[in-house]
Amino acid sequence: MKSLEASYEILGLQPGAGFEDVKKAFRRKALLYHPDVAGEGCSLQFQQINEAYAVLKRALIDRFVVNAPSLDSARAAAQARELFIKREIENILQEAQRQLSELIKTMGNDVEVGLSDVLLRLQSRHPVVRFVAACHLGKMKWDVSFMDELMGNISKIALDDVVLEPLLEFLGKAPAHFQSKVMAQIAKGAKDLEEEACIKLLYWGKRLRWETKTLLPFLTHDSNRVVAIALSMLSSADDVPLMVLMSLMERNDEEILVPLLKKMRTNRNLCYLRGRIRELARSHPSLGVRAWAKWLVGDANVG
């Protein structure tokens, strides 16, 4: 951990500076060395600035506690933290508003912004930058020349709630075959997406009639709801790999097992799964799962 002296020096302050001075110095330095502004080469300096700020915050909290002898120390510490959190939230909101105003000036309707600029901003770690870029993307008109650029950058963009809706709105303007290519690329990273994002993508997948290979990442998602929707979109389970089938069988969820068992009759890997299917037929608590498992193994007397 950095010393107090070193932390003050990094922020360009004299030892003993108060909270307001520390806050202003941190904001000034952070804006100057933020990687989105100064480039990745300043990442180390930016990290040091954050660490120095954290050390000084902790020291100021401790000072607050020491200087409040009439209060219980735990209560004093809690009050100090609450004060710091409140002030920091105010600072974040003010900074977000300032950056939002600046970005709107550069990315507003009266300024011509290319897709490459928008995609670059969508990769930013700053939520305000990504928000404005996403809004701009949603208003852009589709052009066939965008295809290669989208395919090359789409995997670098974090598809959270800020970005996904405008991106889908933008893709909705493209011809269906272009949509299919881009969405298939997006689907490759589905396992790491949030549940709601996956469900939105699957909605588009239904319209585009995704094939099994595009749906596979959704079949390994942690959310049973996502998996169930993806299963409902399969015409059969014939092309689902054995390892994925085995994983699905272990979920033990009726919402997943019933549609899966229905679609496995002609799967070439069925022989490797008969033991598990017989186990489901004998002991699964769901009547529907037991019935379909018995049907699948062709043994009405199982159990």
The structural domains of the chain, with segments of one domain joined by +, span 4-98, 236-303
Q: Which of 128, 189, 187, 201 is nearest to 162 (CA)?
A: 128
Residue carrying structure tokens 């881009």: 182
Contact predicate 151/182, CB 8 Å: yes
Residue 115's pLDDT is what? Answer: 78
244 SS3 class: helix
Instruction: Write out residues in the chain with pLDDT < 70, as ranges.
Output: 1-2, 36-39, 61-113, 128, 161, 299-303
d(CA 118, CA 281): 54
Q: How far is CA 1 from CA 18, 56, 89, 132, 195, in A?
A: 20, 11, 25, 37, 38
- Judged by DSSP in three states, 212 sits in helix
Rg (CA), the chain: 27
Q: Give the contacts of 98 (CB within 8 A, at least 6 positions apart).
A: none
CA distance 173 to 181: 14
**Contact assessment for residue 167 and residue 158, using Cβ atoms and an 8 Å cutoff:** no
* Alpha-carbon span 167 to 184, nearest angstrom: 14
pLDDT at site 218: 92
Q: What is the mean pLDDT of the chain?
A: 78
How much is the pLDDT for 184?
82
Give tens-digit pLDDT for 186-218: 888 888 888 888 888 888 888 888 888 889 999
Tokens 């993806």 -> residue: 230
The tokens for 152 are 């090359």
* Contact predicate 95/27, CB 8 Å: yes
Domain 4-98, CATH among 3.40.50.2300, 1.10.510.10, 3.40.50.261, 1.10.287.110: 1.10.287.110
Tokens of 61: 């909290």
